[in-house]
Amino acid sequence: MRGAMVLLAVVTLLTGIAIPNAPAQTIDARRLGMGGVITSDMGAASAANIAFRAVPKGRGHHSIPLPLGLIQLASDPPEFDSDSPDFNVFEIADLITNPPLTLSLSRPDPVSSDVRIYVAQDSLSVDLEDLRRIIPESSLRNGGVTHLPGFAVGFRKAFVGISPLVHVQNQLDLEPALRAVLRDAAPFTTRTRYGLGDVGVAQGAFAFQAGLAFRAFHAPVPGQEKDEEKGDGDPRRSGATALYVGAAPKILYGVAYGDLRSLGGATTGDTLLGSGDPVSLDVAARTRHAIAGGDGGSGHGFGADVGAVLYWRNLEIGVGMNDLASEIDWKVTERMHVYDDSLDEFTTTPIAIDRDFTSRIPVTTTINVARRFGVTTLAATVVDAPLSTSVHLGAEMWMGLIAVRAGTYRDANDAWQVTGGGGVRFGKIGIDLAVASHQRYIEEKRAVEMAASLTLY
């Protein structure tokens, strides 16, 4: 039991470390070239701001990303056989945190090294060498809210749909002593607790949604009233003042919920390596769970996506909030798990059965600003997600049928990245390319990727 517990703790630690707060990957080459900004004329933007649904398409486009990275993966796949000397679990983790949809132009060397242990009667140290690079200096948070593809039908300004959503969030904190041992290869010392804490939540639900997005206010530019009334006017470039709003309340059917709050650690005794090497282990965890068809049954709740976008003299200002006030009521089973060091076993104590509990789906807020000057677009976007806030700045200029783009963004790890790209348009079809730096690899060192998209205008 003790071995299993220690193994679980260490695997949890290393797994958590191995998958840091990976920034999201943008595969639309036009958007990536502009620093990942979101504007109303990007095909997939309505997922960020429901009001974009009501805005005339204008010069908007739909992108079909070309997954160049899959070719690269097929030509040089990582080793999946753990018995092979070339096996490197970090390459697998990199593949997960950095799906091979874009072409990798450069990447950091994979983590690879020996592990050294020095043992003496009054001294013990572990040098993880390369692995020390992945031990975080502060809390390690990962997860987010994912809206999986669903089914939706639109009727003019309204739509109904169903889509699954998954919310997973975890925060792992290493106590300073443990971090120093792992990150700095500091020697273990006597009478010291090497602890860690973990708080995690995971829930899944189906969202049954009905929405409406429409133009709430319109003041056309004098002389263009006719086009605007027909709906042909593009408020992004017409100079008109227009306000579009959208709202989509949703009924949430909770399929499963689970959360964990745990603390654990090992406390050294008066001697590190004496005759008994006394170390006391402590683990305490509180869990709550409910599952459709099982303990507590399904959950039921409500939420909404809302958004608005204002156009004024070709300036676009949009605010979209997804999962606003989204809550699910559950009847959870609550348990306490405590490791008894003297008995070398876990004791599980039920605390409550079918206790009323309300979980929340965190809000994701997207604020975008864009200004069009003839063939030039300047744009900025701030995305406030549950675990991070990213900032995107970008510009695009069309010169005939050729577009040039540049941008920068601050990713989820607060690192600024640089992007650029271009595109060429052939009538209703175009091809876009973008090159961008990123730090999605678990080594958190800068790499360069290239994205390509087929664009339908």
Where on the chain is the footprint of other proteins (CB under 8 A)? 2-3, 6-7, 10-11, 14, 18, 82, 85-91, 110-124, 126, 128-131, 182, 188, 266, 268-269, 272-281, 341-342, 344
Shortest Cβ 4–other proteins spacing (Å): 11
Shortest Cβ 79–other proteins spacing (Å): 8
Q: Residue 232 or 340: which CB sits closer to other proteins? A: 340
In total, the chain counts a number of residues equal to 457
How far are the Cα atoms of 30, 66, 158, 235, 401 from residue 63, in angstroms, in the given order? Answer: 8, 9, 24, 22, 17
Return all residues near 186 (Cβ < 8 A) that are at least 6 apart: 125, 180
CA–CA distance, 44 with 41 (Å, rounded to integer)? 9
Q: Residue 161 or 269: which CB sits closer to other proteins? A: 269
Cα torsion 412, 29, 63, 101: sign? negative
Shortest Cβ 18–other proteins spacing (Å): 7
Q: Residue 17 or 245: which CB sits closer to other proteins? A: 17
Q: Are 32 and 419 in contact (CB under 8 A)?
A: yes
Q: Put residue 139 in one of left, alpha, beta given phi > 0 → left and psi -120 to 50 → alpha.
A: beta
Residue 127 has φ and ψ, to the nearest 5°, of -105, 110
Shortest Cβ 101–other proteins spacing (Å): 23
Q: Residue 13 or 393: which CB sits closer to other proteins? A: 13
The structure tokens listed for 251 are: 């009924």
Q: Residue 186 or 317: which CB sits closer to other proteins? A: 186
The b/e string for 19-47 (b: 16+ C-beta within 10 A; e otherwise) is bbbbbebbbbbbbbbbbbbbbbbbbebbe
Residues facing residue 213 across a β-bridge: 246
Q: Which helix (H) or strand (E) holds 14?
A: helix 2-18
Shortest Cβ 99–other proteins spacing (Å): 20
Task: With CA atoms as reference, report the closest residue to 37 among 446, 408, 424, 319.
Answer: 408
CA–CA distance, 266 with 274 (Å, rounded to integer)? 16
Task: With CA atoms as reference, report the closest residue to 385 among 408, 366, 357.
Answer: 366
Q: Residue 5 or 387: which CB sits closer to other proteins? A: 5
Q: Residue 93 or 379: which CB sits closer to other proteins? A: 93
Shortest Cβ 278–other proteins spacing (Å): 4
Q: Are 188 and 149 in contact (CB under 8 A)?
A: no
Shortest Cβ 181–other proteins spacing (Å): 9
Q: Residue 250 or 440: which CB sits closer to other proteins? A: 440
Shortest Cβ 197–other proteins spacing (Å): 17
The structure tokens listed for 193 are: 């607790």
